[in-house]
Structure 1
Amino acid sequence: MPSASRASYASFTTGDDLLVEFRKWPATLHYRVTAVFLGADEFGAWVGSMKGRPVDRGAGRRPNVVSEDWVSFLPYGRGWAARWYARQAAAGRASRYSCYVDITTPARLDEHGVHLVDLDLDVVRTWDGAVEVLDEDEFQEHRRVLGYPEPIVKSALRSVADVREAMTAGTCPFDGEEAGRRVSSSAAYDEFRLRHSDAPLS
């Protein structure tokens, strides 16, 4: 299955449901959530979800729910997926991080939805603006135990470096501008812009 491209999303209309599924190497379900398609541009696709939507974590694992409204960017042919939270939550990722980037295999799209393999590493921005890399120990352990192929390892480490640099510099999409326009909760729009962008509110 080839990496997703702009043409891959041509059959979707803004507002359509779109399954987003993350797996652990090589194919174990990590979680899946039905998101809302928010559009695609020349760089990637945008999806969003609302607080309270169910999150399927697979057989034998307790289901979860989305802790806060979020919008996510899935770049074409790149090994990461970024998520911005509309506001700080009381629990979960959104309680600690305003932006959370999973390092993954490139997104692939089929008739069932979007599929990515999570490669453990994460690059995050905390609510006070610090940029951090998470789960480096887990990545090294899984690299050994699960036998990540060397091209996958090199791609993941390159993605970490690229995302950390862009997030620290606040370059697109980590300036929050496009994410603000795509945010799934219109009620959160102004607050979202204030938290995720240096640009003045329009």
Structure 2
Amino acid sequence: MPALDETGDPGDDGLVQVNYRKYDGSLHWNLRMRRLGADEHGIWLGLPADSRIRKGLGPDRELAEAHVILFPRDAWWTAAFNAAPRRTELYCDITTPPQWPSPAEVTMVDLDLDVLRRRGAELPILVDEDEFAEHQLAYRYPPDVIRSAERSAAWLMTAVAERTGPFSGAHQPWLAQVS
């Protein structure tokens, strides 16, 4: 698949189809988001409050708060920054590096591990380690995928705790565009 494409039109409606998949290729979380722009951290997409998201082919679910997602360059994660009062301020999915088959679509494989920070909390937490362990066997993750996911989770735990890089408030101007 092509590398992250920062150029090009996301489409006539300005929306990008976001497809998180599982390692077997099945559709996981999926939604359409507005392309907001790019900076040194990657591509930023956003949605206003009361937007819709789907898990797999299931029914639409409403997201009460506005949020933006950062799709970094050549990194094994994505990061969703949620507007208040959502309890989870930051939710990072450990994924394969985001791929852009076209400027109007981004896709990646969700590798189960997540790093999140609750609103008002100082430190992040790592979740879904049990799911990661189960899926290593069920989906037969190769050793390099396991190592990359674990390294990414460790890096995120430190970067989020220390509020460095995109976790130092870089999301705020992007979130303001959809809040």
Structure 2 counterpart of 1:41: 39
Q: Is the 8 A contact 2:41 2:165 kept in 1?
A: no
Q: Which range moved further: 34-43 or 79-88?
A: 34-43
Structure 2 counterpart of 1:116: 108
SS at match of 2:171: helix
1:152 matches 2:145:
yes
Larger % of helix: which?
Answer: 1
CA distance in 1, matches of 2:64, 2:143: 35
Deviation at residue 185 of structure 1 after TM alignment: 4.4
* Aligned counterpart in structure 1 of residue 98 of structure 2, from 89, 107, 111: 107
Q: Which runs of 4+ in 1 moved over 3 A?
A: none
Structure 2 counterpart of 1:2: 2
Structure 2 counterpart of 1:63: 60
Aligned length: 175
CA distance in 2, matches of 1:171, 1:88: 23
CA distance in 1, matches of 2:159, 2:40: 18
TM-score by length of 1: 0.81
1:19 matches 2:17:
yes
Deviation at residue 126 of structure 1 after TM alignment: 0.9
Structure 2 counterpart of 1:79: 76
Larger % of strand: which?
Answer: 2
Q: Is the 8 A contact 1:69 1:184 kept in 2?
A: no
Q: Percent identity?
A: 32
CA distance in 2, matches of 1:43, 1:179: 10
Which structure 2 residue ranges, 5 or more long, are not aligned? none
TM-score by length of 2: 0.91
Q: Which amino acid is the alignment partner of residue 27 of structure 2?
A: L
Deviation at residue 63 of structure 1 after TM alignment: 2.0
Deviation at residue 116 of structure 1 after TM alignment: 1.0
Q: Which amino acid is the alignment partner of residue 120 of structure 2?
A: D
